[in-house]
């Protein structure tokens, strides 16, 4: 029996472990010098001016929506298919109204956005699912024409490009996850990326309990501590926030992971290309794939078979997110039919192509997928 081929696996060694140990010895536990350095280095890697470290990709979505200053009841256009539940939950918790449209393949369908725009529409938010991109020319043009905020969830897509432009650089703000299955990891954690300094400082205040002080100083060395007497500026709150910070240990781990990230992305692209060639499917060299998508009329049987021969599989996240009980309890606005979202739910699953898998592994996975197809 082969060793089970998990769809994802964190790759790290003594370099990360030693970095964490050194961070513990430094005396900093919460966000400190390692976090500041990690934010700067990650922003530079992605081509953004600012990066804000938070404790998960889900929180990154929530902080992004809060920082944009959207008001309660404002509408946010998003897609129902292949959606991750916390993206939608972030809107609900922020008091926003999601408006659902269908997918085009894995991603949001830009041609359907026009049917969802109304007087309360203030933003478009979607994921670059599994690293794939929708037509960003159309989406950016729509956002500019209607003065809509644009939020890109890039949790699956670090290193992907659209016409040569990094997907993390599109829109007002983009979000990243460092969950162990993703392109690099800090265990748990995420980043909020943007270019506007005012937006960056608003996001920082929300992340740091809602305080007004966003000078970014460490250990209480605020430059303007007594400018609002009788308050200490470090404890002066002008917005609602919570503690969403990343720990120093995570940041130290992440800084080492970031040095590995180019090689991780290269290997993902190689595995994605090989899998596509073996299965006779289209390959997009701009995709830094999180996993390899499969559609099958016999999804459950295929997944059961692949699991039985040691190949880990996953459904396409929530499929059609609106079919789940939690999202039948919220106020729903659905602007289009959701046929593609239903197809994703009924037929879609994925297998791993991460850097933990070698050429022999990909050859084996592709061979077993073709066996499933031969039985149809």
At 311-335, the pLDDT tens digits run 999 999 999 999 999 998 888 899 9
Among 182, 183, 324, 356, the active-site one is: 182
At 133-155, the pLDDT tens digits run 999 999 999 999 999 999 999 99
Quote the CA–CA distance of 204 and 202 in Å, as a whole number: 5
Question: Using an 8 Å Cβ cutoff, are 224 and 233 in contact?
Answer: yes
pLDDT under 70: residue ranges of the chain = 1-2, 217-221, 375-376
pLDDT on residue 94: 94
Quote the CA–CA distance of 89 and 248 in Å, as a whole number: 27
pLDDT on residue 125: 98
Please report which residue ranges of the chain form alpha helices under DSSP H.
14-26, 33-46, 57-67, 85-93, 136-145, 197-207, 248-279, 299-308, 339-347, 359-374
Taken in order 302, 306, 311, 314, is the CA torsion positive or negative?
positive
For 369, the 3-state DSSP assignment is helix
Residue 336, token pair as written in the block:
């289009």
Quote the CA–CA distance of 110 and 104 in Å, as a whole number: 8
How crowded is residue 376: how many other Cβ atoms within 10 Å of its Cβ? 9
The residue whose two tokens read 């085009």 is: 104
pTM of the model: 0.95
pLDDT on residue 220: 56
Question: Using an 8 Å Cβ cutoff, are 154 and 175 in contact?
Answer: yes
Quote the CA–CA distance of 335 and 80 in Å, as a whole number: 11
Q: What are the domain boundaries of the chain?
A: 14-255, 261-374
The CA-based angle 97-99-103, given to 5 degrees, is 145
pLDDT on residue 376: 55
Quote the CA–CA distance of 253 and 197 in Å, as a whole number: 27
Residue 238, token pair as written in the block:
């002008």
Characterise 314 by phi-psi region: left (phi > 0), alpha (psi -120 to 50), beta (else). beta
Where b means 16+ CB within 10 Å and e means fewer, 95-127 reads: ebbbbbbbbbbbbbbbebbeebbeeebbbbbbb
Going from the C-alpha of 23 to that of each of 43, 178, 249, 251, 326, the distances in angstroms are 21, 19, 6, 9, 40
For 78, the 3-state DSSP assignment is strand
CATH class of 14-255: alpha beta
pLDDT on residue 217: 62
Quote the CA–CA distance of 122 and 185 in Å, as a whole number: 32
Active site residue 182: yes
- CA trace torsion 54, 196, 237, 33 (10° rounding): 50
pLDDT on residue 219: 55
The CA-based angle 185-49-108, given to 5 degrees, is 65
Residue 234, token pair as written in the block:
């470090």
CATH of 261-374, one of 3.40.50.9100, 3.90.1150.10, 3.40.50.300, 1.10.260.40: 3.90.1150.10
Question: Using an 8 Å Cβ cutoff, are 133 and 286 in contact?
Answer: yes
């Amino acid at each position: 029996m082969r060793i089970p081929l998990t769809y994802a696996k964190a790759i790290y060694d003594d370099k990360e472990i030693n970095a964490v140990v050194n961070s513990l010895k430094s005396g900093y536990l919460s966000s400190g010098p390692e976090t500041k350095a990690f934010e700067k280095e990650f922003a530079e890697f992605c081509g953004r001016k600012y990066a804000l470290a938070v404790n998960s990709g889900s929180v990154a979505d929530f902080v992004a929506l809060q920082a944009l200053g959207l008001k309660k009841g404002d509408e946010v256009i998003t897609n129902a298919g292949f959606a991750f539940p916390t993206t939608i939950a972030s809107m609900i918790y922020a008091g926003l109204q999601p408006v659902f449209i269908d997918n085009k393949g894995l991603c949001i369908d830009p041609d359907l956005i026009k049917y969802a725009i109304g007087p309360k529409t203030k933003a478009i938010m979607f994921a670059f699912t599994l690293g794939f991109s929708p037509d960003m020319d159309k989406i950016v043009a729509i956002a500019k024409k209607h003065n809509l905020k644009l939020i890109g969830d890039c949790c699956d897509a670090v290193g992907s490009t659209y016409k040569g432009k990094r997907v993390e650089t599109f829109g007002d703000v983009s979000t990243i996850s460092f969950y162990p299955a993703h392109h690099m990891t800090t265990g748990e954690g995420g980043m909020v990326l943007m270019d506007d300094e005012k937006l960056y400082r608003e996001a920082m205040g929300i992340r740091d309990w809602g305080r007004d002080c966003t000078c970014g100083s460490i250990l209480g060395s605020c430059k303007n501590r007594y400018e609002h007497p009788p308050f200490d500026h470090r404890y002066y709150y002008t917005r609602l926030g919570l503690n969403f910070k990343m720990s120093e240990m995570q940041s130290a781990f992440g800084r080492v992971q970031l040095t590995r990230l180019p090689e991780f992305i290269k290997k993902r692209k190689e595995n994605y290309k090989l899998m596509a060639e073996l299965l006779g499917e289209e390959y997009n060299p701009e995709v830094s794939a999180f996993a390899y998508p499969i559609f099958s009329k016999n999804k459950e049987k295929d997944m059961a078979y692949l699991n039985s021969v040691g190949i880990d599989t996953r459904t396409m996240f929530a499929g059609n997110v609106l079919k789940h009980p939690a999202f039948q309890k919220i106020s729903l606005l659905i602007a289009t039919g959701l046929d593609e979202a239903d197809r994703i739910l009924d037929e879609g699953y994925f297998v791993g192509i991460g850097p933990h898998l070698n050429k022999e592994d990909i050859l084996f996975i592709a061979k077993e997928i073709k066996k499933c197809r031969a039985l149809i």
